[in-house]
Amino acid sequence: MPYRRLLLLTGCLVVGVCRAQNPDPMDIRACTAIESDAQRLACYDRATGRDQLPAAQKRSQPAAAVHADIFAHGRQAEVAAAAEPQVSTPLSLLDSRWELSPESKLGTFNLRGYRPVYALPLFATSNQNKEPHSPNPDNTVRAPQQQQNVEGKFQLSLKTKLWQDVFGDAGDLWLGYTQSSRWQVYNAKTSRPFRETDYEPEALLVFDTHYRALGWDGRMFGIGVVHQSNGRGNPLSRSWNRVVADFGFEREGWTVVFRPWWRIPEARADDDNPDISDYIGRADVQIVHEWHGQEFGMMLRHSLRGGRRSRGAARFTWSFPLGGNLRGYMELFKGYGESLIDYNHDATYLGVGVSLLDWY
């Protein structure tokens, strides 16, 4: 093979290798939000075009060795241009979790974090609900339960995109699932039972939005259906279904999601908790602030009624680095509805533990 032709082929190979090893950050930055290692690696391969490379090229010699060959032939400028990193704007908080902008789209069926995932070995209250009740007599406990005021709590929460670009190039359909459990782990007298576990599957159609409101960027709108229940029989059964709207706003370091909802009516005779909207509420707002590696969250919820029907709740959370991906986590809750079985029970709860996934 003539020397010039060999040199040209070698240069093309080096440029291809450099570009594969230094992909455009606009194409790969959203891959960091995927929780599964295998799916995240596949995302990087797709973004860099590595999945399209022939097997021989994927195992090509190290870039440093090829660089030396190119330098020997006076091609330093071309290699430097190919390897120069490109600067891009980081994804916003909402974009990193909901893939709103075109460059953050990752396709369907990638497992993602949703709400915080945590374990609280200590979750304490001074007013444990030992006689859960409801206006429905079939859902009222007649004798006090043997429960301790200190227990454990943990939460799992994941989501995945089922359908991308539902309406042409707009709208993504997401499926989410959240499960939170309160465990009487220190209550040996009653065989350490799970006091309450709430299951919350939902489907949410999410749209990317672009508008300004009082100095905030309106970045997301969603509409979906949410089911929540504790999977128990009477008298401890609790459940309800809602149509929920999400309005997401953000500015540097801050995210606010406002969620009003409408409860889907049920026949009163079959309703475990007919007055649940007057306690757990008809809307909430979630505020998240990131500061120096720490994340602060505040949830505010209200019945949107006055007088004796004016009730609500607030939850404050704080997470902070401990080491690696492990973070400390603290939760303080005051009001009605810390769980479904406590929907009409007013109490204060304090939890301390660790978090594996935060809001953003």
How far is it, in rounded angstroms, from Cα 149 to Cα 315? 19
Q: Is 227 a catalytic residue?
A: yes
Q: Is 345 a catalytic residue?
A: no
Phi, psi values for residue 228, rounded to 5°: -140, 130
C-beta separation of 163 from 108 below 8 A: yes
Q: How far is CA 316 from CA 155, 212, 309, 321, in A?
A: 16, 27, 23, 17
Number of Cβ within 10 Å of residue 140's Cβ equals: 14
Catalytic residue among 60, 101, 133, 229: 229
Ramachandran class of 337: left when φ > 0, alpha when ψ lies in -120 to 50, beta otherwise: left
C-beta separation of 308 from 162 below 8 A: no
Element holding 42 (H helix, E strand): helix 37-48
Element holding 247 (H helix, E strand): strand 239-251
Largest alpha-carbon pair distance within the chain?
Answer: 94
Catalytic residue among 60, 101, 227, 289: 227
> 3-state class of 300 per DSSP?
strand
Active site residues: 227, 229
